[in-house]
Amino acid sequence: MSDGDLDVLQRALERERKARRAAEDLLEKKSQELYIANSELRAWSNRLEQLVAERTHEMEVARDQAISASQAKSQFLANMSHELRTPLNAIIGYSEILLEETSDAGHPQYHADLQRIVASGRHLLMLISDILDLSKIEAGQMAVFYEDIDISMMVHEVVETLRPVIEKNRNRIDVQAAPSLGSMRVDITKLRQSIFNLLSNAAKFTENGRITVTAQRAVGQPVDTISFAVQDSGIGIKPEHMRELFVPFKQADASTSRKYGGTGLGLALTARFCRMLGGDISVDSQIGVGSTFTLRLPAQPTDRDPESAHPSLAVAQDGEKDAAQVGTTKSSALDGRSRDREAVLVIDDDPMARDMLSRMLSSEGYEVITADDGEEALRLARDRRPLAITLDVLMPKLDGWAVLAQLQADRDLRDIPVVVVSILSERKKGAALGATAYLQKPVQREQLLGALLTQRTPSIHHVLVVEDDPDCQQLLRRMLEEHGHPSRCAKNGREALSLLAQQIPDLILLDLMMPELDGFSLLDALKADPRWRSIPVIVVTARDLSEDERRRLSQDTEQLLPKGALGRGELLMALRRLSSKRSTGGASNSDVNRRPGKA
């Protein structure tokens, strides 16, 4: 190797060495940059975590605020319910009293006005109830009470309740719900109200047409599906309105409300009830041809705990709220063993007369059983123990007098009030044979109802009214006295206790929300004293009860009457039920009547 070669190699080596050093410097510089970048990243990461923590905290605070706002809203609604229903109760109650007094005293000029006040009051009550229901559903506070029901029977009951409304528009009704459908486990109040809403809509929007109610069972896994279809040949729904059908307060259009009335809440509630029960609702409609609404529900609750269903105190409430919507009717669909105690037996051989009496009675909330001859009548009276009987005199085979005599001769039937309804003018003979009232045909609706309502219930003599609102107190007192039940009044639990110490009443009508000693505390005091323990208590409340409160009341009281729904009829029916229970040995306290309406 020459010197020149060596020189070249040496220079190349030197160059490579320098290059290596330069590379190392560069690496060192890059490392530092990386280190700094890393530190910055870590700082950013920490800052982000801190930000996330702050935001999370802010959201938690916001969530808690929202929850407590929602609770405040619910509480507000419950209070409003009380505040609104209490005066409304007085308005409806006094209007009814005035209505009766003016018709008795012959002031026809006020009659129609008073009827409008009553109808509007009930309409308002319905609105309040529906809005409360909707709010409760939205707030997730609507409880579901499952029980086993006979499907066919329930459908027929709803149809019978609405039959007068259906026939008012000259519609034919066809029911396809065979007893072979069997039973299902469902919240009957919500299901019944749903079918009621659909059917009353069908009746409202159909004239001279046909309405078909069909119940069907589709076998399936894990549970069968029960469908209820309400089909009408009515005006139909425009396609552009279909989407808003189930939206609260949206009726098809403004002109619909003016022509047909209603709140626009019925379908919204129905759809929500269906969803709560694990089912759905669908609609099929064609303008001018008709509409079909179909509910599909599981035959058993699927994803809910069925144990959450417990026998609860029934709320004798407002079938009539929907009735107010259609103007003339209120629901009398009742279930359970006590049903027959609500029934009135109509005995008449003339189908026209039977039909007319039935309509008058069912429009007032009574269930109606009919018999077209005396023998059938006696059989039905024994089997079903009706609340009251209307009796025609001139009938083939066994006539009315003979029926009356046999009723009076039967120890079990003797107490059933009998209103004789005849073309004959033999008031004295009727009274002599034990008739409670005597009406001559043609019978006016008010006469008939008056005769049924004014019967004194025999075994209740003295009533204690515990109520802080003076108007309500007066109203209850007046209703009771009008029908032969003297009463004393206490304006809170403490006063009630001192009155109880003086005299033991046959019945206590109890408000829950009172100053000093409230209704719940009074119930506790009653339970604690052996002298008072067996006094029947009917709770009359405007309060929107919680599930716990309702459960508690179902054990300690005879019946629960929501204040808004408290017409004279309801109160007297409750009294009569109580007295018939007493005279027949009665059912247990928890075996209370369940009526449609809010649970």
Find all residues with CB under 8 Å of 45, minimum gap 6, and list them: none
Closest CB to another protein among 10 and 75?
10
The values of phi and psi at residue 334, to 5°, are -125, 155
Per-residue tokens: 60:
């938690």
Closest CB to another protein among 27 and 287?
27
C-beta of residue 563 within 8 angstroms of C-beta of residue 86: yes
Least distance to another protein from the beta carbon of 47, Å? 24
Which of 310, 311, 341, 315 minimizes the C-alpha distance to 540?
A: 315
Sheet of strand 437-440, all strands in order from the earlier edge strand to the far edge: 367-371, 343-347, 388-391, 418-422, 437-440
Q: Helix, strand, coil proportions of the chain in percent (round to 5)?
A: 55, 15, 30
Contacts with another protein, residue ranges (CB under 8 A): 4-5, 8-9, 11-12, 15, 18-20, 22-23, 26-27
Per-residue tokens: 217:
């069972």
Closest CB to another protein among 8 and 432?
8
* 421, β-bridge pairs: 439
Least distance to another protein from the beta carbon of 33, Å? 11
Task: Give me the torsion for CA of 447, 451, 453, 454, rounded to 10°.
Answer: 120
Task: Establish whether the linkage from the previous residue to 530 is cis, with ω within 30° of 0.
Answer: no
Closest CB to another protein among 5 and 303?
5
Tokens 């609770």 belong to which residue? 71
Least distance to another protein from the beta carbon of 14, Å? 9
Amino acid at 40: E
Least distance to another protein from the beta carbon of 280, Å? 52
Closest CB to another protein among 20 and 531?
20
Closest CB to another protein among 16 and 516?
16
Instruction: State the DSSP string of 361-413.
Output: HHTTT-EEEEESSHHHHHHHHHHH--SEEEE-S--SSS-HHHHHHHHHH-TTT
* 281, β-bridge pairs: 295
Least distance to another protein from the beta carbon of 6, Å? 11
Least distance to another protein from the beta carbon of 45, Å? 21
CB atoms within 10 A of CB 563: 30
Least distance to another protein from the beta carbon of 42, Å? 21
Closest CB to another protein among 1 and 105?
1
Least distance to another protein from the beta carbon of 41, Å? 17
C-beta of residue 322 within 8 angstroms of C-beta of residue 269: no
C-beta of residue 119 within 8 angstroms of C-beta of residue 325: no
CA distance 415 to 33: 104
Amino acid at 574: A
Closest CB to another protein among 35 and 249?
35
Find all residues with CB under 8 Å of 39, minimum gap 6, and list them: none
Least distance to another protein from the beta carbon of 44, Å? 19
Closest CB to another protein among 11 and 73?
11
Least distance to another protein from the beta carbon of 270, Å? 60
Closest CB to another protein among 9 and 36?
9
